[in-house]
Each structure stands twice: as C-alpha cells, then as structure tokens.
Structure 1
Amino acid sequence: MHKEYDGGRLRLGTEVYTTATQRQYEVTYQGGGLTISGRLAVPEGAGPFPAIVLAHGYIDPAVYVNGQGMTREREWFADHGYVALHVDYRNHAGSDDTAIGEADLRMGYAEDVINAVLALRAWAGPVDDERIALGGRSMGGGVVYNALVAQPGLVDAGVVWAPVSSDAVDSYNRWIANDPGRQDIVRAIDRLHGLPKDNPEFWDGISARTYFDQVTEPVMIHHGTSDDTCPIRWSRETARLMRAAGVDVDLEVYEGEEHAFGPQFFASMERALRFLRQHVR
C-alpha cells in the first residue's frame, strides 16, 4: 500500500496474432526495477479504447509460456473494443526472475499488475487513460483483490472469474501446506514470514479481506457451483465481507459450472462486458 509504483516503457515486440478485428503482440514493460513480459491485444481502429489488464491463474512458472492462461478472455475483450494487456508476472516467460520466487505469496504479482496499469497509461498507443479495469481468473482473481486494496482509485472496476479466497491462509492450506512437492516453499515461507499458526498477524496482513474498506471500485465476481478447485463458498464469503465493508460487489453464480468455465463462458463474458460498460466510462 505504501510503495511508490513506476510502471512504464511498454514496448511492442513480435506481432503474434492477427484477425480482421485485432492484433496481438508480445510486449515488455518496466516496473519496480524489473522487466515484465506479457501479451497485448489491440482492436483495429483509431481508438482511443478502454483497456483491461488481465491477471492469469496459476500455471507452473517452469512450463508457462508468454500469454498463457487467459487467451479466450484477451481475444474476446479485443473483439469487443478493449485493449487487453495480459501480464505474465515476474518469474514467468520473458519476465525477470526474483530470488524469493513464490515465497512472496504473490504480492509481487499484484505489483506487476499495478505497474501494468501505469505502463498502459504511459504508452503512446490508443488507450483511453481514464477507462481502465482489472480482470483476473483463479489465482489472478486474488491478484486483482490485492491490487484493488493496495491502490484504491487506480482503475475503474475489477472483474474476476473463479477466484481464490480473499484469505491468504485458505490458499496456503489448499495448495502449499500439504503438497509434498512444495515443501521447499513451505520452508521458505516459514523462514521469511512464519506459518499461519505461528504468525497470524502476518497472514491477516497479506489477506485482501482485511482491507476491503479500502476498495473504491465496483467488483463483479463470477463463480460456478461445481468448482472443485476454488470452492464457491470462498466467493460467497468474499462478497459478504465486501458488502459489509461498503464495496459495490456483484456475485454472479453459474449452476453446474466448473472451474475453467466451459458452457457458460460466453454468458459470463457478456455479463462482464455490461458491467464494464456501466462502470468504465
């Protein structure tokens, strides 16, 4: 919350995808002393266009490739008149690596997303600087929550699909604590911060829900009732706590929909577009 952010120097790289309605490029930008890579989709036309910064869900950084994770959303938004900047995050694809890795509990990913917004604003391309939103899926939904509480007023709205819990302990218990393949991360977290049972104050301090009273932007949450990766009870509780804190939040529930959103994906995107047209203006 107290950091000074310096995102900028967005540079277009190779054009990697072209249709009658959009062009997509590999990109890099600078922020916090790091080079962060991503994928940028730009609608055809003069603009200026509203924009959305996309935060993807968890993919092992060892296998992740540029632009992976929210391909459908990026293309869909560009087809509907939004510049869409998909952030790879630090330690992913062409981004710089950091020594701490995942032991920073994804705080660094939120920094990368915040700097992406600033980089878009500083870019000379066809972006309407006053109309920018955040979007995230799964882990990226938690990244969006963190960005909203850390920098209220940065964007106009946030929209998330199948997000993780707004309580950092839930995510730690679900994916790290009991995974035999991630005990090196457990040890690093213990060494740097203490585990939840030993240092609850720290874990409250990195949980977005602790600061929902800071959020000034409207939020839309999409979640399926058959999600066995991120249970819908997490989003129900997040929405309840947001409302209690005065946040304008809309929880859209999809009966029978699973984590990845299949049959109701386009319905969720249409709802998201209506939401953004109402608030990103």
Structure 2
Amino acid sequence: MSRTWTRRAIRAGAALLLTAVAAGCSGGGEEERAAPEESPSASREAEESPSPSPSPSPSPTPVDPVSIQALIDREHEGSDLRLGEVLARTDAYTRYAITYRANGLTISGIMNVPEGEGPFPAVVLAHGYIDPDEYNTGQGLMREQDLLAREGYIALHTDYRNHAGSDEDPDSEVHLRLGYTEDTIGAVLALRSSGLPEVDGDRIGLLGRSMGGGVVYNTMVVAPGLVDAAVVFAPVSARPADNLRQFGYSSPRLPDGSAPDPNTAAVEAEHGTPEENPEFWEGANPLHQVDRVTEPLLIHHGTADDVCPPAWSEEVATAFEEAGKDVRRLTYEGEGHTFFSQWPDSMQATTDFFAENLR
C-alpha cells in the first residue's frame, strides 16, 4: 500500500478537559454554623487589594540543534533531481550520474534505471563509512545497486554531503553526521517530485549498510511514512555513543582509549564525551522515539561481525518489538561485516521483502 509523506506531520489539537470542582464541608454530626459577617473595612480591603499575578509557565526546554528532535522539527526539502552523464549501459539498466537538492545543498550520486517500461519502484541506498577524501561517486553498495536494478528497481545511491560532487558542510562531523539523514530524506523527496516517467513515487524503499544502517534508523524515526520499507546490513549502533567508543569518529582510537582523530577531538570538545554529557548523546539516539516508526524493517547481521557487534542489531530489534513495530532480524552464522558466501541469500530475502512491501 502506498503512502504519501507530507513533509511535516499534522499535529492534532488536544481535547479540552473539563474538571468540575466541588467545595466540600466537614460533617461529623455537628450542626452547620453560619459564616461570620464580614466587616465593612474587611470588605473594602479585599476590593482594594490587587489580584495576585498568575505564576509564569515554565519555559519549554530548548531543543538541541544537534539531535533527533531537531531533525523531526525541521521541514525537509528534496527536489531538482537531474540525470547527468551516462556512466554505463548494461543489458538490464542504464547508470547515470545525478544531482539533487536536499535542504539547500546540492548532493551528488548515481542512479541505475532498469530497461523496459516503467514506472519502476525505487530504492534509495545509504552507504557505509568511506573516507570522504578517498570516496568516488556511487562507491559502496555496488553489488546491491546492480542486483536491485536487475530486479526491476530504480537504485538511487546518495553520495552524502562532503562526498564526491556534493556541496561542503564544514559542520558535518561535529554535528555527528546527522546531515546524512537529511541527504537521504532529500533523495526520496527528490525522486518523488522528479516527474520522471520511469519513477513510481508511491513505491520507495531504503537500504543502508554499516554507517548507512544508522542513517536508515534515523530516517525512519524522523520521517515516518516517507518510504514503504527499509533494510539494513551489518548496521552500526543506533546509539551514537556506542559508535564513538567503537570507532572514534572517523578512525580507531589508540590502545589507551584516547582519540587520535581530529574529528573525534572536535566532537568531544564541542559536546563532551558520553560520560561527561550523556543527555546530549542520548538526544541523538533514535530509539527514544521509535514509537514514531510506521514502516517495516528488515535487519541482516552476521554472527562473526567484529566491526559492528550483532548485539547492536539485537537491541534495535527488541526496541522495535517492544514498541509494536514490524521488524525482522536475520542472522547469518559465521558471516562477517562485509557478507560474502551468504550475500546471495541475504539479497534474496531483501528483494522478497521489498516485493512484499513496495506494492
């Protein structure tokens, strides 16, 4: 069943509660006594005394601009999807360089468009961490891009800001890369508003790997109803604090636990460590608002993944289940972070999942 996301959820007004207040008097078998008459002077004093001013309402706690709530509160925009150079032609699809606009930035990427008569359902792909200085457009998830297009899906792979031909965002790292979530939401909106006859804007899914899995979690919470289904492979933790401890922010920490990476040092200088400022770090954890999610999620994780521990996916699945959400977690015995021998099985489960939900 298709869904349409309206960019900003409509908040229903709360119903007015009417409370009747009754004045009670004590019984105990005693006769009622008449209230004493009020003296004229007392009456004048009451009239002349000013009414007490109402106590001011407490100010709402301001929303940290680097938080999931700030992303929820923002009106997201995605538009101006442009097909550029043809990068490759195969028997099954044509591969294009693309750009689109997302919240004021131009973001580059690639798009595989199947051969044949559309419109085709689409999948937006969110890649894992690759050093932006070494990244080339469309890099990451190459196998998935190819297979999805051969299965009849438009595959739009976003480069994210600061990657390839995308605009620069100098605050991206210190803002915990939450901008990648904006870029992914923008990709879906740009697809939907593109007017391209090949695109079925009512059937769009998400697929993310590793760091991109975290982007998918954020997107599902920030923009419920945006897509029809989501899949993640070997995802990072939904808790940014876990990822900071595991990876530093762009490179492994030193054996003594210190952060050699300047980006990590900048993040901790701005926001404090998770131990120093837990409220900030939990504010970037989407699981606190998982009740907002409306789409099904499929999680793939190998038991031998020593990069992103399988326990991270277990925690997410449990949170979704406790919130009554549709989540499926598939584990692959002996499979590591990259997926090799069981990758075909995982992709068969993925295309079956999309076929079931992108109707």
TM-score w.r.t. structure 2 length? 0.76
Q: Which residue of 2 aligns with 1:279?
A: 357
Within-5 A mapping of 1:90-239: 90-125=161-196, 126-176=198-248, 179=253, 182-239=260-317
Q: Render the CA deviation track for 1:114-152: whole Å, top value 9, x for unaligned.
A: 000000001122111110011000000000000100111
Matched, 1:15 2:86: yes
Alignment partner, residue 246 of structure 1: 324
- Residues 106 and 143 of structure 1 are in contact (CA less than 8 Å); yes or no, is this contact kept in structure 2? no
Rounded Cα–Cα distance in structure 2 between residues aligned with 1:31 and 1:183? 28
The DSSP-based 3-state class of the residue aligned with 2:182 is helix
The code of the aligned residue for 2:202 comes to: E
Number of aligned positions between the proteins: 281
Counterpart secondary structure, 1:26: strand
**Does structure 2 conserve the Cα–Cα contact (< 8 Å) formed by 1:163 and 1:230?**
yes
1:63 is matched with 134
Counterparts of 1:130 and 1:29 in 2: how far apart (Å)? 19
| Amino acid of the structure 1 residue aligned with 2:274 | P
What is the RMSD of the two structures over their aligned residues, measured on CA atoms?
Answer: 1.2
State the SS of the aligned residue for 1:102: coil
Aligned to 2:68: none
Cα deviation, residue 182, structure 1: 4.4
Distance 1:23 1:182, change over 3 A: farther
Give the secondary structure class of the aligned counterpart of 1:101: coil
Higher strand share: 1
Q: Which runs of 5+ in 1 are unaligned?
A: none
In 2, distance between residues paired with 1:194 and 1:153? 34
Please tell me whether the aligned partners of residues 79 and 100 of structure 2 are also in contact (alpha carbons under 8 angstroms). Answer: yes
Letter in 1 for 2:272: G
Percent of aligned positions with the same letter in both sequences? 51
Amino acid at match of 2:253: D
How many angstroms does 1:20 deviate by? 1.0
User: Counterpart of 2:296 in structure 1: which amino acid?
Assistant: P
Tell me the alpha carbon deviations over residues 3-56 of structure 1, each in whole angstroms, 9 at most, x when there is no partner.
Answer: 111111011111111111101111000111111000100000120111000000
**Cα distance in 2, alignment partners of residues 10 and 60 from structure 1:** 25
Residues in 1 aligned to 2:247 and 2:73: alpha-carbon distance in whole angstroms? 29
Pairing partner for 2:98 from 11, 21, 27: 27
- Bigger radius of gyration among the two: 2
Higher helix share: 1
Looking at structure 1, the residues matched to 286 and 161 of structure 2 have their Cα atoms a distance apart, in angstroms, of 20
Which range moves more in the overlay, 84-93 or 172-181? 172-181
CA distance in structure 1 between the aligned counterparts of 2:290 and 2:109, rounded to whole angstroms: 28
Q: Aligned letter for 1:86?
A: H
4+ residue runs of structure 1 moved beyond 3 angstroms?
A: 180-183
Distance 2:93 2:110 in 1: 13
Secondary structure at the aligned position of 2:173 is classed as helix
- Quick check: 2:172–2:179 contact (8 Å CA) kept in 1? no
Query: 2: CA distance between counterparts of 1:168 and 1:129?
Result: 32
Q: Which region of structure 1 is more displaced relative to structure 2, 209-218 or 137-146? A: 209-218
Work out whether 1:264 is the aligned partner of 2:342. yes
**Deviation at 1:64?**
0.5
TM-score (norm 1): 0.97
Once the two structures are TM-superposed, the CA of residue 88 in structure 1 deviates from its matched residue by 0.3
